[in-house]
Amino acid sequence: MNRFILNYLGVFFILLSILSFFNIIYCYYFNLYLNIDSYFYTLLISLIIGVSSLFKNKTELKISIYIKIITVIIGYFLIPLIISIPFYFSIYNVSFLNCYFESISGFTSTGFTIFDNIKHLDQSLILWRSTSQWIGGLYFLFSILLLIDIFDDNLKKSFTNFISFNYSETFKQSLKIFLIYTSLTLLLFALLKLIDLILLLIFEYLKNFVINLCYF
């Protein structure tokens, strides 16, 4: 396989292994041991693939737009294959085809699911599905950066001042996207927790208010 494809996808496999590790910590913290082995499998497989891919030598080569398009397409098929592992080894006896469909659905954020009621799923599996959506969104943003050569020069300038990216500039822009994307994720998570807390306080206040009215 092309060296550039291995290097590019290897980054996402390593990121996927990190997210698998977070899922393992989540399972241990909340005593969710039903599907924990599947996250270990995902961690090992994604880490081995990612590290071995990045061991390839990096050279300053001009990558054709066709190689970039092929890279993005392969990623949309290969990364969900690893994401499907926890679904396949879960306690719900789901076929591999359905697991792959579920992982692609999460990775592309289409919203389709094979499960009748997601709320009845194991909490760690719900977190994993959310993880697939998160990394899928990041992959989409990185793919736009990778395929920027498709756009005309005016549209390119609306994204960046650099018309053509080398490895160094691609890394800098990718790091910016990752930091902004992660920061927004944490900010939205904090806002949701704050809203839940406010709603809880309002509910408790109204409940106490109604109780006090009943005593008069």
The pLDDT tens digits of the residues spanning 125-169 come to: 999 999 999 999 999 988 888 887 666 556 555 555 544 555 666
The whole model's pTM is what?
0.82
Average pLDDT over residues 36-41: 92
**102 token code pair:** 């579920």
More confident residue, 178 or 205: 178
pLDDT at position 163: 47
pLDDT in tens, 74-126: 999 999 999 999 999 988 888 999 999 999 999 998 878 888 887 788 889 99
pLDDT at position 1: 58
Cβ count within 10 A of residue 173: 17
pLDDT at position 130: 92
More confident residue, 175 or 55: 175
- Contact call for residues 84 and 25 (beta carbons, < 8 A): no
pLDDT at position 64: 80
Closest by CA position to 138, among listed 36, 5, 42, 19? 19
- Rounded (10°) CA dihedral 206, 210, 212, 216: 150
